[in-house]
Amino acid sequence: MTAPADNPLVTGRTAGSPLVRACRGERPATPPVWFMRQAGRSLPEYRAAREGIEMLDACLTPELAAELTLQPVRRHGVDAAVFFSDIVVPVALAGVDVRIVPGRGPVLGSPVRTPDDVAALPPLDPGALAPIVAGAAGAVAQLGTTPLIGFAGAPYTLASYLVEGGPSRDQLRARALMRTDPTTWAALLDWCADVSAAFLMAQVTGGASVVQLFDSWAGSLSVADYAGRVAPHSARTLTGVRALGVPVIHFGVGSGDLLAEMHRVGADVVGVDWRLPLDEASRRLGGAVPLQGNIDPALLAAPWPVLADHVEDVLRRGLAAPAHVVNLGHGVPPDTDPAVLTRVVELVHGWRSPVI
């Protein structure tokens, strides 16, 4: 890796892009907009390209991953690509038996619950990440000045899948382990932090200009548990990309009480879900932190005037923060009409702040 100041991946091609500028706390003339899960089932071209190919296979085929990454940029004109992958990809590449079951999510061959289970987790061979570097590089080669966002699962969310053996509503087993055996818990979260860190670094090596850490399940935690038993491991995940100067977006669902702690682990931008208006979120962060969000995905199914009013409300409230990356407050629902997403991008790009 080259040092931050010389790193062309970070300081070159995309430095003037609206996304990177907003992540640095600036307000470009046009607010940047992208959508979580924009590379996915909402697009017919995605469903065609994925036909008959399992999720993990698609993630590990660089040409396909690059193509799926580019599709929504071509179609919607969003201000960023997000790498097509899954948070469990580095877990699978480490040799853990995990499959991504359609309609359900990641499912483990056997859950990781005991000290021996954790001790037996294999280290991730950096060479195994070659398809990720290649996939990201393949997308970047076609993106011009549009940034690629790399992403990874935060240790708590990743560990929850490992302990529960799959998706779960309230992460009961993971939270029981956290409180029952803090040593095993810390070892598990460090393992998760290290595979996610390597996954992020592979995407940056391939040319990602920004990364997003997803802590989708963090909202099931009290502030005290998050701060004491999770945040240090999330910070560990980000050490490497921060040393390279790559801006970090940090997102969780139902995390309105955790925003300050989620900022503190080393985020430049805090993602907010649809529940909390951005002006209130900014207030909770002392008015000093760029925000991402938070169009309600439910309203993508509403008539255009209802959705447009809502998007404009989000844009106005986003002015309370020093900078704003426009996004949904959660992922694109699979049954979303893609034309609606394109229209949202047009609205955002045509919007001029009434204040600034």
The catalytic residue among 27, 79, 86, 113 is: 86
The residue within the footprint of a second copy, chosen from 222, 287, 339, 346 (CB under 8 A), is 222
The residue within the footprint of a second copy, chosen from 71, 157, 171, 196 (CB under 8 A), is 171
Pairing of β 105-108 and β 291-295: unpaired
The catalytic residue among 24, 37, 99, 283 is: 37
The answer to whether 172 contacts a second copy (rule: CB under 8 A) is yes
Tokens of 342: 């394109």
Nearer to a second copy, 49 or 227 (CB): 227
Is the Cα dihedral 160, 163, 164, 169 positive or negative?
A: negative
Segment near a second copy (CB under 8 A); pick from 16-24, 103-111, 126-134, 272-280: 272-280
50 has catalytic annotation:
yes
The answer to whether 114 contacts a second copy (rule: CB under 8 A) is no
The residue within the footprint of a second copy, chosen from 173, 264, 283, 316 (CB under 8 A), is 173
161 has catalytic annotation:
yes
How many binding residues for a second copy (CB under 8 A)?
32
268 has catalytic annotation:
no
The residue within the footprint of a second copy, chosen from 17, 160, 196, 220 (CB under 8 A), is 220
Reduce the secondary structure of 241-270 to three states and give it as a string.
Answer: HHHCCCCEEEEECCCCCCHHHHHHCCCCEE
Minimum distance of a second copy from residue 5's CB (angstroms): 42
Minimum distance of a second copy from residue 98's CB (angstroms): 21
Binding mask 141-170 for a second copy (x = CB under 8 A): -----------------------------x
- Residue ranges of alpha helices (H) inside the chain are 8-11, 18-23, 44-50, 55-59, 62-76, 89-93, 115-119, 130-140, 155-164, 172-180, 182-205, 223-229, 231-243, 259-264, 278-284, 304-318, 338-350
The answer to whether 296 contacts a second copy (rule: CB under 8 A) is yes
Pick from 218, 313, 299: which is nearest to 256 by CA?
A: 218
How far apart CA 220 and CA 254 sit, in angstroms, is: 8
Q: How far is CA 83 from CA 18, 80, 310, in A?
A: 18, 10, 28
H-helix or E-strand spanning residue 212: strand 210-215
Nearer to a second copy, 128 or 298 (CB): 298
86 has catalytic annotation:
yes
Site for a second copy, rule CB under 8 A: 170-176, 179-180, 219-222, 224, 254, 256-257, 274-277, 296-299, 301-303, 306, 310, 330, 333
Residues catalogued as catalytic: 37, 41, 50, 86, 161
